[in-house]
Amino acid sequence: MTNQEVTPRTETAAAAPAGRNEPALLPPVDVIEDATGITLYADLPGVPKDKLNLRVEGDTLSIDAELVLPVPQGMEATHAEVQLARYRRAFTLSKELDPAKVSAELNQGVLRVRIPKAEHAQPRRIEVQVG
């Protein structure tokens, strides 16, 4: 990304939601920039929509999600490599982005977040007059 529009932020207890100071997984995120904004793709396997909290506060975009991995009835997990039941990630947004127009979609464990550029940061064509 050329303009460093979205910067990952190190999560601290102060930035975590109230009562959510437990350790969390850092989901991998791809950030793609185009002329009209950025798109983030966060891998959140095992997260249902009702356990996902996506917020913009000031210049910070926060992802907080609870992992739900059901074990079939009558079965018991004998080995689990994922020990943490929460994903958490925060990003600092540049002033070129419009936090009021953020849209998000969760599909098969992948969160897609679209953040368009603000009106003043959009590319525009300038008409040249002949003198």
Residue 76 lies in a domain: no
Residue-wise pLDDT tens digits, 16-30: 444 457 789 999 999
- 85 has pLDDT over 90: no
Distance between CA atoms of 119 and 117, rounded to whole angstroms? 6
**Domain containing 35: what range?**
6-69+81-118
Number of domains, the chain: 1
Q: How far apart are CA 56 and CA 87, in angstroms?
A: 17
Distance CA 124, CA 98 (A): 17
Q: What is the CATH number of the domain that holds 23?
A: 2.60.40.790
Distances in Å between the Cα of 124 and the Cα atoms of 73, 88, 120, 127 are: 58, 36, 9, 10
Does residue 14 fall inside a structural domain? yes
Residue 22 lies in a domain: yes
Between CA 40 and CA 104 the distance in angstroms is 9
Q: Is 127 a domain residue? A: no
| Percent of the chain whose pLDDT exceeds 70 | 83
Q: Is residue 13 part of a domain?
A: yes
What pLDDT was estimated at residue 3?
43
Rounded CA-CA distance 74/45 in Å is: 23
43 located within any domain: yes
Residue 104 lies in a domain: yes
pLDDT class for 15, splitting at 50, 70, 90? very low
Residue 47 domain flag:
yes
> 3-state DSSP: the chain helix, strand, coil percent, rounded to 5?
5, 40, 55
